[in-house]
Chain A
């Protein structure tokens, strides 16, 4: 006989329709009120208790009953485990089941185990620090084992001038250079009006803890972009002349202050023998706020060409230099910027300096094994030629080594973002205000709040 507990609903149905067939085990007559007879009361109470239990325990109750009545020998050992609650931090750690009587001698028991959760399942800051130390040590070991054996030092050439966005750009470049694991010298050529280095730049560079050669260059940075590109080339040539005079050794990288460099670039240029070329992604964008219609138009233009124009070496199928990808300035003919900060799209030259790296021995007057397809720097400058890219320093451009799996990998991004030349930029006041805030808060012992 099936107990009515397994079919609670049928009782309700038979109660509601007095003409329904009587239950198998139901003892109460269908039209007598159930409440009166004690057997009926008992069944009703049992029914209520079963309903409440199944509400509380759900399928576990049903499983319990099924096992109890139908499959008693193979009752799982886990019955007390039904009530093992877990994931509540105030509950103590739950215990595993005691081993069954004639089990193997194993310490490990089969059955339901509690899920151990500690009281505060969040990271401990001291452990996070030691984990980062471990990661740092592992990465250092990786570099020792698999990285470059005898790294060349780097000579980073950066033309800059004091302006609103200088701190923004230079700090970014500074942080990138601080991450480089190779010895480097930073040659910062600054275009200062009176030919003397400005305080702002000097203060920024002093914070960098890098070996810096701060080279002042006479002349103000021009406002028109075409003039500015030429001026920057002259600044870079000035740096190259310094390298030649002082016979600095290393690989020359042209890192403009507003460009974005990936760390892989600096690992890749260690492979350069004489002249290398990497792919540069051009982030040419307009400074104007675009309306929705204009944005739609520009998106269509983008979809026609590649999404981001890339400048760099082009290889043939046998991975040898076959030509150059240059910047296609046709789509931007009407929108290009003419002077700094006018909101138009700033266009790069056909081949930017940033994509080339040179071995400094190419610039020296005399160096062993110096190749003969390099022109002398002094001669080039004396002739007053316009140098648009380092290729003009070479007699034969076919000796350039393509980097980044033959130019397929973009290792740096060219960007020119600048505020208007007449933007409010109080020179010198930035440092003072920051120092003032720092001194104030040190005196009062409060947390530093950056207001500027």
Chain B
């Protein structure tokens, strides 16, 4: 009797022992971790069947002709507006029957008026947007039905629908009045800022996927750079004294860490920029003139932990991606202590962040590949739109009558485009 009990106990202990070993082994083999944000495990959701989008047919002067005039719009970081249009045209969520559509998309390329240097000028964008909205409100009844509450627009410029590159001017202008009920899909995100309205979907800036894939190095190349950054610290053209550009944060990084061998920071743009990011543990993503930057996308693709230095920033797909667990957030006032902060992060936390970054669905969610692939940024935008359904009843029935004032805004905006 006793002998049998001893045998049973022994067997139980042995089984626990082996379970422990098995768990440890699977820990060792675990290269990636599942990502679950505040909306749940939604990165792998499929939007097809959950929503229907109707694409307005606008005359070519709003989209194709502008692109023909300057094909650089296809490769700069605001190219998401063009690729979103192309994606929707051939996507299964598109419907040709507007009566059954949940969302309406207006393909107007407001960020394609480029200077010779390639920077977009936003001065004509408000008039262009206004003109487009006038067109759709006159030719289809759906805009006036809800005053745009079930319409969405892609506005990837510096400060979104405020249509200016200077923050003070953008705040003065505010979001274009006619868009106040529509959903905005934009790269800019900062909490409690005039240019980010509630319910907007923040997206990553466009980064060319093939170019990044072409520079991949074998994953067993040891990561030997501690902190990596390439970019301007002082914008001598627009802010010669410093203190204005990046709210002084980039200049502070330079002044504090230019002598620190752990920080590989410089303004030179090397040919091995992408390869170097893959050899680094931390990549700095400080704000510039606007808080967002394509460095975040590059850091995620190359597995380098992003160190975000931008107060109150709202990162892309913030409800689907738990950025707090993936990146490191440093307040701008704590920049002088950046080395202390980064070296005091426990190694398990760092390894966990690297495992989360290695998750392919995380990398896929930051990209705009052509043709679209499941789980990419296009699908995350549609997932975001699907999560906002069904529309609030107030979208269709407004108690106070019409809300939009078609003559609001600066006088210059009212001129026809």
CB closest residue in chain A, given B251: A115
Contacts of A117 in B (CB 8 A): 252, 255-256, 336
Closest chain-A Cβ to B241's Cβ sits at a distance in Å of 8
**Once bound together, how far apart are the Cα atoms of A117 and B255, in whole Å?**
6
The residue in A76, A78, A114 that gathers the most chain B C-beta atoms within 10 A of its C-beta is: A114
- Is B335's CB under 8 angstroms from A116's CB? yes
**Once bound together, how far apart are the Cα atoms of A130 and B248, in whole Å?**
28
Contacts of B260 in A (CB 8 A): 122-123
B-facing residues in A337-388 (Cβ within 8 Å): none
- Is B312's CB under 8 angstroms from A134's CB? no
- Is A141's CB under 8 angstroms from B351's CB? yes
Is residue B24 within 8 Å, beta carbon to beta carbon, of the partner chain?
no
**Once bound together, how far apart are the Cα atoms of A141 and B32, in whole Å?**
12
Q: Interface stretch among A142-150, A184-192, A202-210, A425-433?
A: A142-150
CB closest residue in chain A, given B226: A131
Contacts of A134 in B (CB 8 A): 226, 281, 343, 345, 347, 350
Closest chain-A Cβ to B165's Cβ sits at a distance in Å of 13
Q: How many A-B residue pairs have CB under 8 A?
A: 128
- Is B223's CB under 8 angstroms from A108's CB? no
Is residue B167 within 8 Å, beta carbon to beta carbon, of the partner chain?
yes
**With A123-B262, A134-B350 given, is the CB distance from A139 to B243 under 8 Å?**
no
Closest chain-B Cβ to A296's Cβ sits at a distance in Å of 33
- Is B259's CB under 8 angstroms from A116's CB? no
- Is B257's CB under 8 angstroms from A121's CB? yes
Closest chain-B Cβ to A265's Cβ sits at a distance in Å of 15
Task: Label chain A's interface by main secondary structure.
Answer: loop
Closest chain-A Cβ to B156's Cβ sits at a distance in Å of 21
Closest chain-B Cβ to A109's Cβ sits at a distance in Å of 8
CB closest residue in chain B, given A133: B347
- Is A127's CB under 8 angstroms from B339's CB? yes
CB closest residue in chain A, given B194: A104
User: Chain A 70-105, CB within 8 Å of chain B: the 1/0 string?
Assistant: 000000101001001011000000000000000011
CB closest residue in chain B, given A77: B168
**With A106-B312, A110-B167, A113-B247 given, is the CB distance from A143 to B220 under 8 Å?**
yes
**Once bound together, how far apart are the Cα atoms of A267 and B222, in whole Å?**
12
- Is A121's CB under 8 angstroms from B256's CB? yes
Checking A76, A116, A144 against B248 with a beta-carbon cut-off of 8 angstroms, the contacting residue is A116
Checking A105, A118, A127 against B256 with a beta-carbon cut-off of 8 angstroms, the contacting residue is A118
Contacts of A108 in B (CB 8 A): 190, 193, 247, 311-312
**With A81-B243, A142-B222 given, is the CB distance from A106 to B192 under 8 Å?**
yes
Is residue A6 within 8 Å, beta carbon to beta carbon, of the partner chain?
no
- Is A138's CB under 8 angstroms from B243's CB? no
Shortest 9 CB-CB contacts between residues of A and residues of B: A146-B220, A118-B336, A106-B192, A113-B248, A139-B222, A115-B248, A127-B343, A115-B251, A112-B243
A110-B171, A117-B255, A138-B351 known, 7 other contacts, Cβ within 8 Å: A115-B251, A116-B335, A118-B256, A123-B262, A137-B347, A137-B351, A147-B220
Listed in ascending order, the chain A residues whose CB lies under 8 Å from chain B are 76, 78, 81, 84, 86-87, 104-108, 110-118, 121-124, 127-128, 130-131, 133-135, 137-139, 141-147, 267
